[in-house]
Amino acid sequence: MSITLDLTRSTASPKSAPVNLAGLTRTGLRDALVAGGICDAGKARMRATQIWRWIHHHGLTDFDQMSNIDKATRAALSDTFTLARPEIVERQVSKDGTRKYLIRTAPGIEVEAVYIPDVGRAGALCVSSQVGCTLNCTFCHTGTQKLVRNLTAAEIVAQVQVCRDDLEEWPSPSEDRRLSNIVFMGMGEPLYNLDGVADAIDIISDPEGIALSRRRMTVSTSGVVPQLDALGTRTQAMLAISLHATNDALRDVLVPLNKKYNLEALMAGIRAYPGLSNARRVTFEYVMLKGVNDSPAEARELVKLIDGIPAKVNLIPFNPWPGTDYECSDWKTIEVFAAILNKAGFASPIRTPRGRDILAACGQLKSESEKLRASAVRKAEQAAAEAA
């Protein structure tokens, strides 16, 4: 007599959440369609292009509206995949029109994105690349929030999709866009998440989708020198460098990463950035801190430091946050500083603080997602997957 044991129950792995197609790269989308049994490899390219246009050009979140796809395939897509947007936990609008979104992309993972009208060609979205940051720059609010984790490309792209939903900017307009520029200046250090950032830029710039030019995307780094070349080669994005000081002693304090990659190494890395030219200048960001880095002598040092580099300098009035000891320089001091740079031939706009009333300005972002122990995040994600 033989006994057959039914082991299916005890060995079955927990049902995993459906894959969200809205944040996959083109290749990822093709692979997912084949793996999900929607089509065979031979048809995958054509199917992926159809679906891609619905997702990234039209902004659809419902397979049923994909009118050039047959009913049976649409049903199979809805059974296997999702296109759902992440939850918007909070949306705030500042007196000046700036909009801040707090987005929950996964259990315990909350990120902020800020839309700023009348910046760049029409309006810029400031996106986050990590939850929190490891780098602890002393003047930055995000730096006081421990790193939770890198965001996936999907989580970065979702910030753009959420903002375009809110601006009602689907399908992708070819001109007169309200969201015309993307700046990686939200929470986190983009060059510690280059894979996620580069994939997100590929998705956002795809001509059959959102189709934002790579030259309208700026990646800001505190100076992760070994990744600069890869950033330029992989993304062709515009480069912004958070400089903030003209000598190592002060930069070591303001941007502690300077102890690892000092000014000499940083400047050499910038000079070698792929594609740097007068038409594609690097932006130096310089936060104006009262009595710390704002003297005329430092402005002259700055001119010497960046001599010969196709560059402009953004002077950022310091945005205060609860608990900081720094103060913003006086307006007159900032103007004197700017005049020295201008005289030396460097455009040096003073960045008007935007959205200060809703803590949406540079360096003020800090979500409540504190560093749950990694195991706790994993557990929460697993529990959510099981519940799905």
The residues annotated as belonging to the active site are 112, 362
Rounded distance between C-alpha atoms, residue 170 and residue 154, angstroms: 18
- The window from 66-74, 137-145, 206-214, 375-383 that contacts ligand SF4 (CB under 6 A) reads 137-145
Is residue 182 part of the contact set for ligand SF4 (CB under 6 A)?
Answer: no
Is residue 191 part of the contact set for ligand SF4 (CB under 6 A)?
Answer: no
- Which one of ligand SF4, ligand SAH, none is in contact with 231 (Cβ closer than 5 to 8 A by kind)? none
Is residue 228 part of the contact set for ligand SF4 (CB under 6 A)?
Answer: no
Q: How many residues bind ligand SF4 (CB under 6 A)?
A: 11
Per-residue interface string for the shown chain with ligand SF4, residues 161-180, x marking contact by CB under 6 A: --------------------
Is residue 150 part of the contact set for ligand SF4 (CB under 6 A)?
Answer: no
- The separation between the first and the last C-alpha atoms of the chain, rounded to the nearest angstrom, is 41
In whole angstroms, the minimum distance from the beta carbon of 37 to ligand SAH comes to 41
- The window from 115-123, 138-146, 269-277, 371-379 that contacts ligand SF4 (CB under 6 A) reads 138-146
CA distances from 310 to 220, 239, 242, 243, 342 (A): 16, 11, 16, 15, 14
Is residue 223 part of the contact set for ligand SF4 (CB under 6 A)?
Answer: no
How many residues make up the chain in this entry? 388
What 8-state DSSP symbol labels residue 330? P
Is residue 192 part of the contact set for ligand SAH (CB under 6 A)?
Answer: no
Interacting residue with ligand SAH among 205, 293, 319, 369 (CB under 6 A): 319
Rg (CA), the chain: 23
- Give how far the C-alpha of residue 229 lies from the chain's centroid of Cα atoms, to the nearest Å: 19
Rounded distance between C-alpha atoms, residue 134 and residue 198, angstroms: 20
- Which one of ligand SF4, ligand SAH, none is in contact with 294 (Cβ closer than 5 to 8 A by kind)? none
In whole angstroms, the minimum distance from the beta carbon of 374 to ligand SF4 comes to 19
Interacting residue with ligand SF4 among 142, 150, 218, 329 (CB under 6 A): 142
CA distances from 91 to 2, 86, 273 (A): 63, 13, 37
Interacting residue with ligand SAH among 22, 131, 140, 203 (CB under 6 A): 140
- Which one of ligand SF4, ligand SAH, none is in contact with 293 (Cβ closer than 5 to 8 A by kind)? none
Is residue 133 part of the contact set for ligand SF4 (CB under 6 A)?
Answer: yes
Is residue 126 part of the contact set for ligand SF4 (CB under 6 A)?
Answer: no
Contacts of residue 283, Cβ cutoff 8 Å, sequence gap at least 6? 218, 220, 238, 239, 240, 241, 311, 312, 313, 314
Residue 10 amino acid letter: S
Q: What is the DSSP track for 178-218?
A: S--EEEE-SSS-GGGSHHHHHHHHHHHH-TTTT---GGGEE
Considering beta carbons, is residue 33 or 241 the nearer one to ligand SAH?
Answer: 241
Is residue 287 part of the contact set for ligand SAH (CB under 6 A)?
Answer: yes
Supply 164's token pair: 């375009």
CA distances from 275 to 13, 221, 222, 236 (A): 49, 17, 20, 8
In whole angstroms, the minimum distance from the beta carbon of 362 to ligand SF4 comes to 8
Determine if residue 299 is left, alpha or beta; phi over 0 gives left, psi from -120 to 50 gives alpha, anything else beta: alpha
Interacting residue with ligand SAH among 362, 367, 369, 377 (CB under 6 A): 362
Helix (H) or strand (E) holding 9: helix 8-11
User: Please, which of residues 217-256 interact with ligand SAH by CB under 6 A?
Assistant: 220-222, 242
Rounded distance between C-alpha atoms, residue 153 and residue 197, angstroms: 6
Chain residues binding ligand SAH by CB under 6 A are: 139-141, 185, 189, 220-222, 242, 285, 287, 316, 318-319, 362-363
Chain residues binding ligand SF4 by CB under 6 A are: 133, 135-137, 140, 142-143, 188-189, 222, 242
